[in-house]
Structure formats: structure tokens, C-alpha cells
Amino acid sequence: MVDVFAPLDIFPRERVVCVIGNYGSGKSEVSVNWALALARAGVTPLYIADLDIVNPYFRCREAIAPLEAAGVRVVVPRGGHFFADLPIILPEIKGLFGNSEGTALFDVGGDDAGARVLKSFAGAIPSYEMLQVVNTRRPFTATVAGILEMRRRIEESSGLRVTGYIGNTHLMEETTIDTLLESVTALRELERVSQTPVRFVTAHVRLYDEFRARATGLPVLPIRRVLQPPWKPEDHPASRPLGRPVIKPLFKT
């Protein structure tokens, strides 16, 4: 089994990356694990911003401790508003969109309702990636047609264009290697129909080695569950040694 911080070959292609998807796609878990992996790979300055103002559960802010321990700058409401179920948009968010240095991941709310927040920044977002997280075992994204309908709704709501997909198919603890391999077939068909690339796929660390060897060339991000529901605690990755990253900005003008 690999550690979650395997050598990384998946880097953002733009300074601003918006991670979107339907509820239950796992976009926040993907965002957190990707940010931790990028930090371990030495990407700095690196920001992650919580733009989920719809769903108070499973937000990237819940992983603030391991993220900050890894050197990621977390942009979330502080103090008494940290756990508030309120549609709070920090003024720093607009600055992140317009900043000319550093890499910024935005964990955006689910479905078209959550993506609507991006429209409020019209004109402030320069070149960007918007990556749609896809779990082909979820009811509304089990088919290519369903995935494209979700994409259409998110694009219409956000005013931005999806530039790539992240395959994050899983069945929680019941995920098998066959679950992951079946998703690759669907994702390749999605690429063909939409003419939009799959940027990478994910696999839990227990399946990472085998899946990476059989994923037909797709980059694979190993993930470990970081965002835990209160009824299911797990060892927090904050206790894992991260080492000292090499300073390596991806984007600088």
C-alpha cells in the first residue's frame, strides 16, 4: 500500500482551479487530497478556498489542520463563523482569483446551486481550469448522458466552462478494483463524446498500486479519507510526517 503522498504527476494547468461536481461526487475529498499532494510535491504558495456555501457537511474547511500543517494556505471564515451554516463569501476570495502568483484550488458547492457562486465573480476570473468530479456510481452521473446534463447545468449556473474531468468513482469501503476499472471505460467514452479530457482519476491508497498499473495510462491520485462524518472518526492525517517540501511555484508573472 502506498502512502497518500506518492510521487505526483498531476499538476494544475492554470493558476486558478475550480473543482465542481454534484452532491456526493467527493469533490471536497478530492480537493483536500490533491492540495496535500501538491504541497508534498513542493508547490508553493498554494491556497485552497472553501466556496461551498450550500452544504455545511464535508467541506474542505474540516481539514484545516492537516492542510495548514502541510503549508497550504486555507481561505475560510474564521472565529465564530468557522462552523456556521451561512453563505459567507470572504473578500479574500476575489483577491485569489486576481492574484498573479501562487496556485489556488477552489472547492465549489455541489450541483448547479453551489456553482452559482462563481457567477458573482464574473470578470474577476482570468484563465482557469474547471474540473468536474465524476462518480459513475452515483444516480445522476451513472451514464455519460447524466454526467453531461450535470455539466450543462453547472456551466449555465456558473458562467464558466468545464475544461476537464476528475474520475472519483467509489462505493466507500465496498470499492473494489473492478469498480475502478469499470469507471475507466465510462470515462473514456465521456472523453470521446464531450471532447473534454479526463485530467486524472483517484483510487484509495489500498487499491492505488494495482489500479495505477491497470488504468490504461490515466494519471492516478492516491487518496485517503480525510473528511470524516462525526459518527465515524478515523486517525487524522495531520499526525503523519510530511517532510520539508521543495519550494516550487507553478505560476508566477
Domain locations in the chain? Answer: 16-77+87-226
Q: What pLDDT band is residue 91 in, cutting at 50, 70 and 90? A: low
| CA–CA dist 178, 210 (Å, integer) | 11
Does residue 51 register a pLDDT over 90? no
| CA–CA dist 238, 251 (Å, integer) | 27
Do 155 and 20 meet the contact criterion of CB atoms below 8 Å apart?
A: no
Tell me the sheet residues that pair with 128.
Answer: 16
- What is the full DSSP assignment across 86-142? S----HHHHHHHH-SBSEEEEEEPSHHHHHGGGGGGTTT--SEEEEEEE-TTSGGGS
How confident is the model over 140-194, as pLDDT tens digits? 999 999 999 999 999 999 999 999 999 999 998 899 999 999 999 999 999 999 9
Nearest to 132 by CA among 168, 170, 162, 169: 162
Q: How far does Cα 7 stand from its chain's mean position?
A: 18
In the chain, the N- to C-terminal Cα span, in Å, equals: 39
> What are the backbone angles phi and psi of residue 79, rounded to the nearest 5°?
65, -140
Does residue 247 register a pLDDT over 60? no
CA distances for 252 relative to 22, 63, 146, angstroms = 32, 27, 38
| CA–CA dist 171, 139 (Å, integer) | 12
Do 21 and 27 meet the contact criterion of CB atoms below 8 Å apart?
A: yes
Nearest to 17 by CA among 129, 170, 153: 129
Q: Which fold has domain 16-77+87-226?
A: Rossmann fold (3.40.50)
Model pLDDT, residue 65: 87
* More confidently predicted of 178 and 57: 178
Q: The whole model's pTM is what?
A: 0.84
- 3-class DSSP state for residue 211? helix
Cell (9 digits) for 222: 492516491
Does residue 235 register a pLDDT over 50? no
- 3-class DSSP state for residue 33? helix
